[in-house]
Amino acid sequence: MAILEVSGVYKSFGGNLVLENVGMQAELGQVTSLIGPNGAGKSTLLNIISGFLKADSGAVRMNGREIAGYPPFKCFKAGIARTFQDSQVLPYMTGLDNVVVSSPGQRGEMEHNALFRPWVVAAEERERRAEAMAHLASLDIESKAASLSQALSYGQQKLLEFARMLNSRAQVFLLDEPMAGIHPDLIEGLSKMIRAAATEHGKAVILVEHNLKVVMDVSDYVVVVRGEVVVEGPPSEVEKDERLASAFLGFVSNAAT
């Protein structure tokens, strides 16, 4: 069963209809890619799923529960984490602290423990730091644990953002153009991490990406949008479908960036 289900979503800005009856699903352990030309409505859809925008109509269900209209923090609590087209890390915190603060508190009795059982809090804190460190290590950026994240390169900040998501225990990852602006040498590694988020960590990943080779390599399922869903299916099928090319016709693409 799909953990996330979007159906019948409409969204317009002013008189401009951007999403028209859009539906898609995401499953745990799978990478579902959302592709389409510039202005097709991909980021708008991610914004709706994560609560940053409200759809005019339509449903967004997480684990079968309607979440359309939830504000971002409630979507996050429901298990949806996202990246933005620009990297979003906490610049004045170290790499390690950036990851540590992304995990939810373990127990509701934090204050009680802090006052009466401080050793419990200390043990929990050690555990959380070890876990955060393991995520940094799995992304090969453990050497940046003590650096302020503003001192990291753009590509390293993207990896740090990814470590924050892995640590957050969210079940659905929304990735908006994670490869954009990244050094070409890092693309393969980042692709592997995206794949691993699904295969090893069991997340449901929704990937918005202009690099079609990456998309076809890492996806289990591909949805092509241009205001509405144009064609969808396994990458091997979508790749051959003439509707893929026609969806991109007539648009100025910045796919090379």
DSSP 77-136: HTTEEE--SS----TTSBHHHHHHTTSPPS-TTHHHHHHH-HHHHHHHHHHHHHHHHHHH
Helix axis angle, 184-199 to 154-167, nearest 10°: 0
Q: Which is nearer to ligand ATP, 43 or 171 (CB)?
A: 43
Q: Which is nearer to ligand ATP, 102 or 211 (CB)?
A: 211
Q: Which is nearer to ligand ATP, 115 or 245 (CB)?
A: 245
Q: Which is nearer to ligand ATP, 20 or 220 (CB)?
A: 20
Shortest distance, position 44 Cβ to Mg ion, whole Å: 8
Shortest distance, position 64 Cβ to Mg ion, whole Å: 28
Shortest distance, position 73 Cβ to Mg ion, whole Å: 22
CA 56, 62, 66, 71 torsion: positive or negative? negative
Work out what residue 72 binds among Mg ion, ligand ATP, none; the CB cut-off runs from 5 to 8 Å by kind: none
For 208, phi and psi rounded to 5 degrees?
-105, 120
Binding site for ligand ATP (CB under 6 A): 13, 18, 36, 38-44
Binding site for Mg ion (CB under 5 A): 43
Work out what residue 38 binds among ligand ATP, Mg ion, none; the CB cut-off runs from 5 to 8 Å by kind: ligand ATP
